[in-house]
């Protein structure tokens, strides 16, 4: 066991505070990672405030982890000391079910995936995330960060990047396709970059035009305000694919009207409230309302390699660990462009 410093929420809705946690001893197939940077995801806020249900406390959030290997177990074959690596949203799964064998570990059907934090691992211990100095992870749930990516801008790719890359790839974003990214935040800004490089015609749909210059700079071809009713009239039947990053309940009937026939509205944002939907919005036009949950380990590595090849990283605001609570508050007010990243040397 190793004692490391961390920032944890002691109880639901309580401010995070500096503390210490225990990391397990390195096992045969484990790697010990010195964490250099950790992205701050909206999921961290929701979990620490029990927005998605009962949670485990004290909670150390953080599932956008970038660092350097400092120790490896005797059976490790994929990594060596000094390698630049990342850890995303999961740190274990059953490894035997059809989904795990297909590289869809995030959809494990035998006990579910083990989340990087706020979960009970298969060893019976609570998992703690990246708001800490070090983490121990089985090598099969670690990915390599290519040399072409700086660790600070790579960290948010471990959640935000794969969360956007996976549906864009699955639903065929590319030349000849019109893709809308709903929401230009921590997820959406990376989605714009990826969809643009894939060759799609990209439109940002945002509540206002406040970030229009940023959206166009990041690769969007068009930018519309959803607060303007004329937007829905002008863009009716326009898109092959809409990826919604919004974490608030939407008028899904209105957004489904923006799709071509057939088109898909894929949700990666998770509202805490239930939604309403008139099924005729789907039936007329053979449209699809779908969800997408991250990606597996192999696809996450594919995404990192893709981003490195095209020079894509997150737009970040680097913060000290002492600023985490302020960052949570600012995120809730949409006051970040576009991802907070913790400098873990300050923990």
pLDDT of 222 reads 98
Distance CA 269, CA 251 (A): 14
The answer to whether residues 179 and 241 touch, using CB atoms and an 8 Å cutoff, is yes
Q: Report pLDDT for 248.
A: 82
309 Cβ contact partners less than 8 Å away, ≥ 6 residues apart = 148
The alpha carbon dihedral of 290, 291, 296, 300 has a sign of positive
Specify the CATH number for 2-159+295-346; select among 3.90.180.10, 3.30.70.260, 3.90.1150.10, 2.60.40.1180: 3.90.180.10
3-state secondary structure of 139: helix
Q: What stretch(es) of the chain map to CATH 3.90.180.10?
A: 2-159+295-346
Q: Which parts of the chain have pLDDT scores under 70?
A: none
Tell which residue, 161, 155, 187, has the closest CA to residue 338: 187
pLDDT of 270: 79
Q: Does pTM surpass 0.75? A: yes
**3-state DSSP assignment of residue 235:** coil
Name the segment(s) of the chain with CATH classification 3.40.50.720. 160-291
- From CA 303, how far away is CA 283, in angstroms rounded? 33
Q: Is the sign of the CA dihedral 93, 56, 46, 193 positive or negative?
A: negative
pLDDT at residue 324, as a whole number: 97
Tell me the CA distances in angstroms from 179 to 3, 26, 152, 243, one per residue in order. Answer: 47, 44, 28, 8
Superfamily name with CATH number, domain 160-291: NAD(P)-binding Rossmann-like Domain (3.40.50.720)
Q: What is the pLDDT of residue 43?
A: 92
pLDDT score, position 272: 73
């Amino acid at each position: 066991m190793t004692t490391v410093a961390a920032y944890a929420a002691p109880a639901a809705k309580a401010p995070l505070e500096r503390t210490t946690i225990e990391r397990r001893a390195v096992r045969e197939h484990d790697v010990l990672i010195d964490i250099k940077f950790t992205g701050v995801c909206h999921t961290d806020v929701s979990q620490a405030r029990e927005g998605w249900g009962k949670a485990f406390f004290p909670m150390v959030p953080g599932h956008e982890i970038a660092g350097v290997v400092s120790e490896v177990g005797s059976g490790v074959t994929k990594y060596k000391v000094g390698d630049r690596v990342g850890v995303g949203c999961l740190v274990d799964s059953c490894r035997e079910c059809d989904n795990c064998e297909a590289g869809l570990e995030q959809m494990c059907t035998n006990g579910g995936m083990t989340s990087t934090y706020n979960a009970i691992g298969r060893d019976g211990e609570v998992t703690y995330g990246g708001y800490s100095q070090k983490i121990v992870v089985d090598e099969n749930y670690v990915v390599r960060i290519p040399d072409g990516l700086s660790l600070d801008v790579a960290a948010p790719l471990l959640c935000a990047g794969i969360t956007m890359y996976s549906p864009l790839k699955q639903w065929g974003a590319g030349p000849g396709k019109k893709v809308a990214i709903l929401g230009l935040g921590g997820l959406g800004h990376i989605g714009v970059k990826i969809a643009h490089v894939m060759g799609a015609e990209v439109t940002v749909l945002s509540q206002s035009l406040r970030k229009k210059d940023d959206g166009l700079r990041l690769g969007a071809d068009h930018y519309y305000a959803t607060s303007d009713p004329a937007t829905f009239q002008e863009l009716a039947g326009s898109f092959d694919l809409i990826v919604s990053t919004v974490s608030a309940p939407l008028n899904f009937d209105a957004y489904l009207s923006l799709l071509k026939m057939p088109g898909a509205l894929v949700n990666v944002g998770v509202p805490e409230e239930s939604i309403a939907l008139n099924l005729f919005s789907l039936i007329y036009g053979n449209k699809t309302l779908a969800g997408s949950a991250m990606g597996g380990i192999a696809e996450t590595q594919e995404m990192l390699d893709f981003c490195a090849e095209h020079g894509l990283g997150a737009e970040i605001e680097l913060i000290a660990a002492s600023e985490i609570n302020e960052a949570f508050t600012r995120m809730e007010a949409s006051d970040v462009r576009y991802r907070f990243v913790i400098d873990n040397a300050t923990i």
